[in-house]
Amino acid sequence: MNVDEITELIESDRWMMDVLRAAEALDLPDWWIGAGFLRNKVWDAIEGNEYSTSRDVDLVYFDAEDVKDITDWAYDEKMKKEYPFAEWEVRNQARMHQYSHLDPFVSTEDGISHWVETATCVAVKLHKRRLKFIFCHGTDDLFNLVARPTRYFQTEQGLKTFYGRIEKKEWKKRWPSLKVVEK
């Protein structure tokens, strides 16, 4: 698997392209769609699974001028109303550090880099009809079906969150070849 193959996977998926066009139309500053939207597509392709769209879309952006949670909720509702083919969760990374008790993030990419698993710290966007990607911790874990906590989840509580997500989301059932490592 490589970036060109990921590009082909996404471009050939009408639903994913519709999601990306809808996000682009919202025109949020420094926007990206991350997490399972991209990770699941790649892991399903590697595992040979038919991609089963969960409809969950994590649309993230960065706007330090407006960090009110009510703004995100308004974007959620707008996207759900205008583009009901997806379950939108729109979150400003300029305020999300508060939930992890970390220093403020400086960009959307910085916020994404603090998510739970390295292979989840990925994102895609559509810009001038071309796909662009973020791979905060490289592509090795994504391309090799590895679930590994980011350094921010290397604590006792962080590892509980990490293992809890794998169990709750039944990742080993969906991707039997998945390798789970702590470091």
Single pTM value for the model:
0.91
Cα–Cα distance, 96 to 35 (Å, whole number): 15
Relative orientation angle of helices 36-47 and 14-26, to the nearest 10 degrees? 160
User: Which fold, 3-145?
Assistant: Beta Polymerase; domain 2 (3.30.460)
Q: How does pLDDT run across 15-35, given as a tens digit for each residue?
A: 999 999 999 999 999 999 999
Q: How does pLDDT run across 49-94, given as a tens digit for each residue?
A: 886 657 889 999 999 999 999 999 999 999 999 999 999 999 999 9
* Residue spans per domain, the chain: 3-145
Category of 24 on φ-ψ map: left (φ > 0), alpha (ψ -120 to 50) or beta:
alpha
Cα–Cα distance, 53 to 77 (Å, whole number): 20
